[in-house]
Structure 1
Amino acid sequence: MYELNGVHKRYRRGKDTVQALDGVDLVIEDGGRLVIQGPTGGGKSTLLQMLGGLDRPTEGSVVLDGIDLATLPEARLTRVRAEKIGFVFQSFNLIPTLTAQENVETALVPLRLKASERRERAAEALASVGLGERHGHVPGELSGGQQQRVAIARALVKRPAVLLADEPTGNLDESMRDEIMDLLEGLWEEHTLTFVMVTHDSALARRAPRLAVIRKGRVTIKEQTAGVG
């Protein structure tokens, strides 16, 4: 479970101070699904970075399963990210010279698994996203939707408790957008993940049971009845 209390994030931009997050309090239950929406510059990606331990708050606590990511030493924070949190980004972030199989295996390197176990788990992850037969292809030989599937497999191969997605369909057309969301929602249910997604797409936001609207660094939670579909 996530518990955020009094989270502020301020940046220096030249001589100015930017208040990206302004006293955010938020609870996300284990297995919950939350979408974050808001205007550009409102703090969406900053909040996701806090949840992922990719950035630290200026003030406040970001507690995941009893561990405060805000104060954790860097080495332990890196370990928590490697073991507990999977990331999916808009730009896929695949290594162009590596095959799909090799890209997925990179997520397992910090866990110090044997090479044989890395290969087996990566193959299983690719099969779970429908790309078992494309394991030997490099990203340039795959469509945008297929590349995002590889990125999802890479996020899930660690068997994380949390999946964080930042505009995961932003580079895809509408039909592929729906296909990727169906996949993500299916994996969320299958693996009982805590799933948090940033999106500008209101049609996708309506599919989630909870919506966090963030404006000028402040968060308002809306419970939704639409859910999946």
Structure 2
Amino acid sequence: MYELTGVTKQYRRGQGRVDALAGVDLTVREGDRLVIQGPTGGGKSTLLQMLGGLDRPTSGSVVFDGTDLATLSERRLTAVRARTMGFVFQSFNLIPTLTAQENVETALVPLGTRAAERRRRAAEALESVGLGERAGHLPSELSGGQQQRVAIARALVKRPKVLLADEPTGNLDESMRDEIVELLDGLWREHGLTFVMVTHDSAIARRAPRLAILRKGQITLKENHQAAEAL
């Protein structure tokens, strides 16, 4: 699925340079559930952006299904993201003037899906996250947890190979955090996804069968066999 080799990412800061990633090697197998944890500024979100083709490395390769994302044109990269990757972010990123149903449908527009099919699949996706009865509501009429469920439905409606989540519970309280994590785990199993999540939350990290710790741009991998067996 993914093979990262020698991935670096450098940013300019004033007259100096910041190494967000410093030679990361990482393999993510198809069907993996990987959690990335580490301190603020340690490179977690940067690594997720590399996996999602949202940013390019300064050096190294990010091979996804045999293709190095770093070498693709923007047009081809956009097409790969649209077809194969679903994204969930901390801030939900819903369009405030669209209903839950319409927000979910937006993920299918770039794929050229016909309107009737978009409506059907969006309704099914909302049902799968427990929001079938709220399809006609605007984001402002939904709780934070419900908005994140809409965002998850939007990510899954196009039936991606990979689900990438950046602090998906960061704006939620503890009880809602647990609900969203359980939902994501269930959807991962049901759909056979490859699932990569960035989090600062140790309670979430302890549940991960594979854990990547990022500190100062460098990665340490840990296998949690007990968590894997529980899943």
Work out whether 1:159 is the aligned partner of 2:154: no
User: Which residue matches 2:114?
Assistant: 114
1:160 Cα deviation from its structure 2 partner: 0.2
Query: How far does residue 225 in structure 1 lie from its aligned partner after superposition?
Result: 2.4
Q: What SS does the aligned partner of 1:154 have?
A: helix
Partner of 1:195: 195
User: Quick check: 1:31–1:192 contact (8 Å CA) kept in 2?
Assistant: yes
- Residue aligned with 2:7, SS: strand
TM-score calculated relative to the size of structure 2: 0.98
Q: Deviation of residue 95 (structure 1)?
A: 0.5
CA offset at residue 67 of structure 1?
1.1
1:135 is displaced (CA, Å) by 0.3
- For 2:210 and 2:9, locate their aligned partners in 1 and report how far apart those are by CA, in whole Å: 23
Superposed displacement of residue 91, structure 1: 0.6
Distance 2:114 2:191 in 1: 24
Partner of 1:92 in structure 2? Answer: 92
Cα separation, 2, equivalents of 1:226 and 1:154: 31
Superposition pairs of residues 59-208 of structure 1, within 5 angstroms: 59-208=59-208
Structure 2 unaligned blocks of 5 or more? none
- Deviation (angstroms), 1:13: 1.5
* Alpha-carbon distance in structure 1 between the residues aligned to 2:220 and 2:34: 12
What runs of 5+ residues in structure 1 fail to find an aligned partner? Answer: none
TM-score, reference length from structure 1: 0.99
Give, in whole Å, the separation in 1 of the partners of 2:37 and 2:220: 10
Tell me the equivalent position of 1:16. 16
- Secondary structure in 2 aligned to 1:148? helix
Cα RMSD, aligned residues only: 0.8
Q: How far, CA to CA, are the matches of 2:121 and 2:98 in structure 1?
A: 17
Letter in 1 for 2:23: G
User: In the alignment, is the contact (CA less than 8 A) between 1:42 and 1:216 conserved in 2?
Assistant: yes
Report the alpha carbon displacement of residue 226 of structure 1 after superposing the two structures with TM: 3.3
- Could you report, residue by residue, the CA deviation over 1:29-53 in whole angstroms, capped at 9, with x for unpaired residues? 0000100001110000000000000
Task: Report the Cα offset of residue 96 of structure 1.
Answer: 0.6
What is the number of equivalent residue pairs in this alignment?
Answer: 229
